[in-house]
Structure 1
Amino acid sequence: MVTADDELFVVAPGVLPDDAEVEETLTGKGVLAFPADTAVPLGYERIDLELAWGGVMLVPGRIVERLAELPGDVDVPSTLMRLSLQSGSPIRHLDRDLLSEGHWHIDADRAELDAREKRWIDAQRRKIAFRAPGLAVAERAGARLARDILGQSAESVPILAAMASVITALGLAAFGFPAAGIAMTGLAALFGHMAGVVDRVAQLSRPKTNHGLLHRLLGHAIDPVFILLLTISAPKEFGFLRAFVPLVLFGLLRLGENYSSKKWRATYADRILLGVLLAPAAFLGFSTEMAAAIALLVLATRFFPTLRGD
């Protein structure tokens, strides 16, 4: 039941506004309006010679009582808009570019809805610079994948593919193919990040998702699996020292990920890039040397101020 003290937020049928613009412009009671010369040909209701109603308004609840005085077949949103203006609600102007750039729709068709969905999903993508090329590619690929599988049973495919890749990597190591296992672990990191993007977008429309545990397990598993595979790949004559270089490498990467300047943290966290670097070296038989070189490079970036980028 609407009372006189309430505020009524009204969106006309068929209107699909830009949420951010509504929040920014409609800070109090008012009627949102576009220039009439742009909006009226698109189907928006004319207010006067200069303005057309954008289909959204925030109005005082007391004007609802006046609807009882009118015939039952009136257009309620349009009537509320007129009554609101008569009662003194201000007009709040919208930029015509919202219409021309496709951010505000009325009676949108399938193509317009698809384009809007694409922009919305892309807006949820984290802006990861190509200082972390693996994560940057995975972020973009995950956003693209989200457009195709959100709300479908296939939504679980990326995280399941990541877990399957980890299991496959361990199986390959058990059968004496650690180099292939390293490649599969890098692939698991790729699928895992893509799954994280899909899950992040899904949570905006459906806060409760079922993949939280799998994401946490995967996040905790990638580094230990890399360490295990690098240890197995190391020359046997190193004995227990076979694990030394992998442990140092991932310890340094973790330190960089947590304590470096913000612009470089994604680089230290990029396990996809790490897999791309380590897998070919492992196939050629010098994974330990490559891991040591990467560890030395990471150490140099943290030791010398000119390389830190702080």
Structure 2
Amino acid sequence: MLAGLIFAVEEAEGRPGTLMATLPFGGMTLLEYQARLLFGAGTEQVLVAVGKMTPALLAAVNRAAKRHPRIEIVRSAEEAAEKIAPGAQVLVMADGLVTTDPVMDRMAKAGGEALLVTDDPTSPAAIERLDMRDSWAGIARISLEQLTQIAQMPEDYDFQSALLRVAAQSGAEHVGLTAGWLKGGHAVERSVEGLAARNTGVLAALTERRTDWADRWVFTRAARIVLPELVGRNVPGWAVSVGGGVVSAISLVCTAMGWVGAGSVVALLGTATLATGAAMAVLRGEEKRAGLLEWAIFALFALIVLLGGWVEFAATGSTTPPVLAVVAAAAQWLVERVPSRPKRWWSSPSAHLLVFSPFALSGFATIGLAAVAIYSFATLAAAVEGTREKA
């Protein structure tokens, strides 16, 4: 079993009486974001270590508990040790820590006790020096026995510092903080301004999980511009999803009415909106909704090309356009199900829409359908070949 432990003790810089854990981040509080990361990394319960209770902290814990019921407040190592099942490992997050899923996943999969460290003492992730070379970077994986050892110390000890010392003295593995993780936003922030700046970096990292060329150069760039504004204004995720659905519906209506070029262009806007909604869902730990939005993008692409093929068939009487549309949609559906790691040049629903739109706008929708059919079939062949090589 893996449990989580979040420290929520220190006050924010320039905000007397306000805990760092209750500062706004990502459209929620930092504490809620940290809890989301821990549950996403596979913890079955999360404990919040506090020094004092504030109304804002209690409200943040209650909101987090609505999504993840197994989250509790503790006031000491002794109380924490009592609430964790025997034999469990504990994934610890420092007070004020901002990080991302890849970092948490790496620490959650560590073989035993481990400390995330940096060899740069001036790094924004450096919290406390461990030895002549390394400083703690805010995440630790410890055993329940070590937590119990801390519980036996005098009452005036500093819980977080004592935990770090016990883990370091036990010979815990040192996991180095990579440049990519640091670039993704990993750091300890103690002020509202610092969190706001870090928020932008984390949001940018979230949008980069879509790796094909179309998303990287078009839709990801759009999401990077829009997402911080949406989060900063506390726009609910469902509103973005509904907006994407409405725009997508308009594109389908335009295409069905014979305006294939206009429909494909509006579909690009719908795709950008849905992709932004998916990134926002990931930020808030709503993986299921993010997955549904990804499939909604595929459905939009498939319906656009199928309707485009039907419109061309109605206009020319040729069965070639609908056949090409079916091939494109079916091949891409198979690509989505192939477990191979996607390559940058591989087709995706959003890439197909970018390829198809110029042809549709120019009045050559059939050529556009042929292009996406060939593209999806070539990608499928490469994906299958890649799977065979791994086997």
Gaps of 5+ in 2: 1-82, 336-342, 386-391
* Counterparts of 2:98 and 2:272, CA distance in 1: 29
- In the alignment, is the contact (CA less than 8 A) between 1:2 and 1:64 conserved in 2? no
* Pair 1:246–1:135, CA change in 2 (3 A): farther
> CA-atom RMSD, angstroms?
4.3
In the TM superposition, 1:247-266 aligns within 5 A as: 247-251=322-326, 253-254=328-329, 257=332, 263=345, 265-266=347-348
Q: Which amino acid aligns with 1:117?
A: V
- In the alignment, is the contact (CA less than 8 A) between 2:126 and 2:137 conserved in 1? no
For 1:162, the equivalent position in structure 2 comes to 248
In the TM superposition, 1:12-161 aligns within 5 A as: 12-21=94-103, 23-24=105-106, 26-35=110-119, 37-39=121-123, 44-86=127-169, 88-95=170-177, 97=179, 101=183, 103-107=185-189, 109-128=194-213, 137-138=218-219, 140-142=221-223, 144-149=225-230, 152-153=235-236, 154-155=239-240, 156-161=242-247
Q: Aligned residues, how many?
A: 278
In the TM superposition, 1:274-293 aligns within 5 A as: 274-281=356-363, 290-291=364-365, 293=367
CA deviation profile, 1:49-80 (whole Å, cap 9, x unmatched): 43322222122212333344434342211111
Identity over aligned residues, as a percent?
Answer: 17
SS of 2:140 mapped into structure 1: strand
SS of 1:183 mapped into structure 2: helix
* Counterparts of 2:371 and 2:182, CA distance in 1: 50
SS of 1:57 mapped into structure 2: strand
For 1:286, the equivalent position in structure 2 comes to none
* Counterparts of 1:31 and 1:135, CA distance in 2: 33
How far the C-alpha of 1:127 sits from its partner, in A, is 1.9
* Counterparts of 2:181 and 2:349, CA distance in 1: 39
* Pair 1:18–1:118, CA change in 2 (3 A): closer
How far the C-alpha of 1:31 sits from its partner, in A, is 2.8
Gaps of 5+ in 1: 235-240, 282-289
In the TM superposition, 1:143-222 aligns within 5 A as: 144-149=225-230, 152-153=235-236, 154-155=239-240, 156-170=242-256, 173=257, 178=258, 181-204=259-282, 205-209=285-289, 218-222=300-304
* Counterparts of 1:278 and 1:98, CA distance in 2: 40
For 2:66, the equivalent position in structure 1 comes to none
SS of 1:89 mapped into structure 2: coil
Give the TM-score normalised by structure 2.
0.56
Q: Tell me which of 242, 246, 250 is aligned to 2:317.
A: 242
Give the TM-score normalised by structure 1.
0.68
